[in-house]
Structures are given as C-alpha cells and as structure tokens.
Structure 1
C-alpha cells in the first residue's frame, strides 16, 4: 500500500493511532473536528478498499429528515481536499462510493431509522456527528450493530459533538469513561492550524456582543450562562487571556475568605466562600466552597481540611455577620472569632448594594486570576448570575435570586473589600505654617 500524507490538528493524531473501539472529539465552533473526522472516515474506507475489504461507512446524526441534514456535503468537501481520496472515490449528487466498488457511504438519522442500520450490510465504521442529542436508547441500539471484525480489525464507532449538557448520554458514555479503548479529546478553535480569518472575525464579535454564549459556542463549555449574565463577558476574557489555569498561593501573603452566609435546614440559603489573595494589583482567586443547610461546624471543618487555619486565613463577612443565627447562640462574627479567626464585617451598603458589588467586581475582573479546578463551581455560579427581566416591558429588575446568587454575592463582597478606601486621620499643619 502506498503512503500518503494528510494534515490534521495535532491533538487528533493520538486519537487515530493504535487500536480502539470508540474515537471522538468534542468542543466548540471552528475546531475542524467535523471536517477532520469526515476526512478520516474517507481515509479509513480507502485503507479498507486497498486491502480488498468490502463494506459500508455509516455517517449518522440524531436528526436527519433528508440528505440535506446529513454529513454528505462535509464528506464530499473532505474528499475533494485530498487528491488521493478524490481519485479513489466517485462522488455523485446523492452518493459517495469507491471506484473499485468495495466501499460505499450511507447516511442515517438515529431518531427515525436506526433499526434500518442493521440491514445496511457489512458496517466497517459508523461516525455519529452532532452527537449531543443522541439518546441512551439510540446508543444502546446502535452500538451492538457494530460487530464486524477481521483478522486485525473490528468495526469502530466515531463520535463528534459540541457539549451542551453535562448530563447528556454522549458525555457519560464517551467523555467520562476511563476505558483505554475509548480515545476522545477536546478540540477547540485554538487547535485548528487553519482557523480561517472569517471565523476569527465572528469569534471576536461573539465575545464582544454575545458574551453569555461565547464559552459554549467557541470554547466547548456546557451552556451555563444566560442572556443578561453579569459576568459572562469577563469570564470569557479571562479564559481568552489565560487567566484561568493553575494558580498558586503566595506563602508570604495572607489568605482571605469572603463569605455569603447561609442558614441551617433544607430550605436555607447556600453558604458560599471564595478564598483569595491580594498580591499587589493582582487578585489570585484560589478556591471556592458552597454548602446548603449545614451548621457552621461543617464549614469550619472544610477550612481546616484545606489548610485555611486561623493563622493563615482572615475572614470577611457581609453586614449580617452581626445578626444572630436561628440555631447558633451567637453571631457569625462571634462564632468565627471564637474559632480563632480574625474577622472583618463589611458595613451595610444600603440601597443598591447588589449592583455596587457587581460593578466593583467588573472593574476588578481584569486583575483576577482563577484556579481552574478549585474554582470551577464558583465560576459556574458567576456565569449563571443574571438580571431578572420583565419580558412584557423589556426592563431589568435587578439580580435574580437563585442558586447562583450566593456565590456571586460572596464574590462581590471580595471586590468591595478590595476597593474599600483606606481611612486617614486629618492633622492640620502647625500654627506657624498656616497661611491666611
């Protein structure tokens, strides 16, 4: 068999090396994953044909009402990009097949005619594109049909998708697994060596004009932000600028814990804590914790387990830190002080306090660096925290109070504390120096 050279994003090379039952890639727009997999399906067919193996390459999607909804055109373009593939395959308006009669493409929709896949003949490979909405039932029906094998090969399933829901069946089957015969990678626009200029312009526009959609559309994140999300644009910028990654604490600087207080009981508000350091003009956001309905002892235990002991951590509380809890016989401020912590309680900011916290956080966001792993739940809350809207009148009603607001309030408290002015005592000059 003659050797040919093809170009793929570097991150995909290990996916197509060696043996596997499942190969795949997930991520955002412009990553070249669809075109790359379409090309590799054709390459796989070429290799089978060169070895004298006959069969079908199935290209499937969950929804396909006609060939216009299929991967047919993508496969055609991928074949035409490679001269050796264009020479091997015959391309018609509604078909692709090898000129030697050994390999043919078939296109199927899993929602309607998945059962018909079983009767298509010898399936050598099945590629499911846009796989996010594929159901568990569809996977359970499809996978057993891929049972063909030869002396040194077996039928494989390839999967590509743009993440939307953490709970989607494709996520559980192919992303969360540790099966060594499943080779799946994340692929985004940064990984595309031929990322086109027209998409770069679209990406920049989305970042500026549709920041709440940007992480999902371009960075392959789950859809976790809403229209009107206060921090969507700022989180997208932080990721774009490399400010979300591995962040370490400065051992010579104090750790600060900024808290939004919750209560005890099943219906209580969440207790949220951001751990940060102020290092010069930089804010290092190191950790995040949230719990619902737990007593203060549980939160203190988390702090001790993470090494946030009174000798290292200073506590900042909102104004209600001076209010007695329904269960505790003392205020939260007193309880933390009794545990040995130095506590600062930020005074009530009065009317419009929530908006003041939001604006303070927005001003400081360019100076913030986030630990990617430890702050992930907190950043999810920030991405969701959004304005409540009166849809009939099209006006904003202030921050929506939901699951995300407690983490966001603690985050805003951190910004307010950072911007708090230093108090100076005025001392008039000596009488001899007064000027009339």
Structure 2
C-alpha cells in the first residue's frame, strides 16, 4: 500500500484533509469572538455557517468533473490555493454581508477536495485497497478539526481571531507548493494499470460500451447513497458549526475550556475514519460470496444508525459530561461510515466517471451544510435550547439508514 510512491500520495492527501478541516472549523471555534465583534445574532451566525456550503456543494460536482477532465493533481492544487487565500481573506470581513461573500468563495475553493481524493486513490490503488486508503487519507479531516480548537482558541485569545486565519492561510499555500513539486497524477506503471482497469471497466459495462455520466446520475444506488451522505453531513455540520457555541451557551464553558473539550469528539472521529475503510474492506473479504456492496451497506447502515441514536440522546441528557460523551460516540460511529460513500461510488462506477459521479453525490450530500446550520440557528433562537436540533439530526440519519437498506442495490447496466 505504501510502496512505489504510494506512501507519498497518502501522506499528502492526509495532510490536505488536516488543513481542510483546520481551515473549515476555525470559524466555529472563533464564532463566539466573531459574533460579539460583529454584533451577529444566532440566526445570522447560522446563515454565515451555511453560506460556506453554497459554494462548497456546487464545486463538489464541478471539482469532480474537473478531476476527470484536467486531472486530480492540478484540480487539488488550484483548490488549495483558492481556499487558503479566502480563509485568510476573512480578516477583511466587516459585517454580516462581507462574511457571507467570503465564506461562499472559501467554500468554492474547498469543494473539490473529496472528489479529487477519490479520483487520486482510483488512479493509484487497486479496488481491494481503495476503501482502506480513502478512509486513511480522509482521516486527516477530523484530525484537522481536533487541532483547530487548541490552535485557533489560543491564537484568538492571545492575538485576536483575525490572526488565526492568516496563519492557516500560510500553511495551505506551503502545502500546495510541495504537492505540485513532489506528487504525480499517476504512478510510473500507469500504462499497465490503466490497461488492467480499462479491461475491468469494459467487463462491467454492457457489451464493452462506455456508459454516460447521465446514466449514473439517475440510479437509485447513487441517489440514496447521496441521501445517506446527506444525513451524515447534517450531523457533521451540526457538530462542526454549532457544537462549540452549544458548549459555551448551553453548558456554560469558557472559550478556553470549549476549545479543549472539542478535541475529544474529533480524536474519536479520526480513529473512526481511519478504521472505517479497513473495516469495510475486511467485511468485503469476509462476505465475498454476498458481493462487495453487501459489506459496504452493513457498515454504513449499522454505524449511521448508532450515530443517530447517540446524537439524539446527547440533546436530552442533563450533564456536560454526558452530552460530550454521546456527541463523541456519535462522531466516532459517523466517521466509521466516512469512506463507505466513496467506496460505493468506486465499486459501481467506471473509472472515466468516478470523479464526476462522486462529485455529484457529494454535491447532493452537502446541501445539508446549507440547510442544517441555518435551521439549527433558527431552532435555537425560537426555542431557546438545542434539544430540537439534536433530535432532528438523529431522526434524519435513522431515516437514511432505512433508505439504504431498501434502495441501494447493484447497478444493472443496460443491454
């Protein structure tokens, strides 16, 4: 898995995920300062959180298409430069409107990340390793979330919240320079690998005929995998955007204590995401007679349901320890499914379309990031508590688990 330059690819993709969530979660850590500094209400802060996903969701799809057309290396290089610059540009915000504009542009920059990771893994690794590698590389994202609390919290308290965004901008630009210099689009043996993968793709498509992108975009397996990913992202964005404010507002923690406590769920999430792909690949071998999709669904349905139960209960417990513990468990089970959505796409889609289909699925899933934070802000403003927001996040994931059982099936190719 780590030979012939593959280890370098894994390390760089892992670090890209760390930087991605360090940048993305910085706003939620700095939110109490920003909210006071710019005189924003909870509803306005929720809209700002959601505005990120407007640009992000659109460029999930466009970024996936770009990775198929221009290559994953170039697409991710440009994406990192753009999102780093607009992360730093947040220091220029003077109010509600300017925050929204900058966050939309920032989201556009981050949008291509997951689809380009999936494409890069498809280029470099054989099918029996892809879920494991996707889980391992994507596990950098919760690690980025974990370190953002102490880093951004310390800088914000010591030097002001604006300085923290300049620091993480510089980190992203440095990564992009090294990525362009040291990483190749495909391994040196790409010709032999491409021949083998082309043969496999021909066997999967009817009569050796290449299937159009539109064929996959209409498939229930793709659409309901995207719905499960939507529920995953609804919980994730609830945690990513509002959990720090919940700890301060509802649990009475100081910003310093909050920035430390938020590390706990992120660490469990890192473990879950790193293990999730390996768990899925293990079950795919164990239940080889039932087909690879069965093992993917087994992990996805079980863990997404457990995550739903934990997040729902977290909204009803009366102690801070209980709430943090249940949220941490929810994030752990949630992240165990994190590689599965991408693995399903890699399993059922031919190589020429895997970036585009993955990007389309990610686009649908990340509409949760547009809807969820704003709905949460509204519920907090109208009810005065976070309980309804917790229950809504859990209910969506339960419903999505049932939908996966019913509708995610092997794709039947046309004759």
TM-score normalised by L of structure 1:
0.22
Which protein has greater RCO, CA pairs closer than 8 Å, 6+ apart? Answer: 2
Larger radius of gyration: 1
Higher helix share: 2
Higher strand share: 1
TM-score normalised by L of structure 2:
0.22
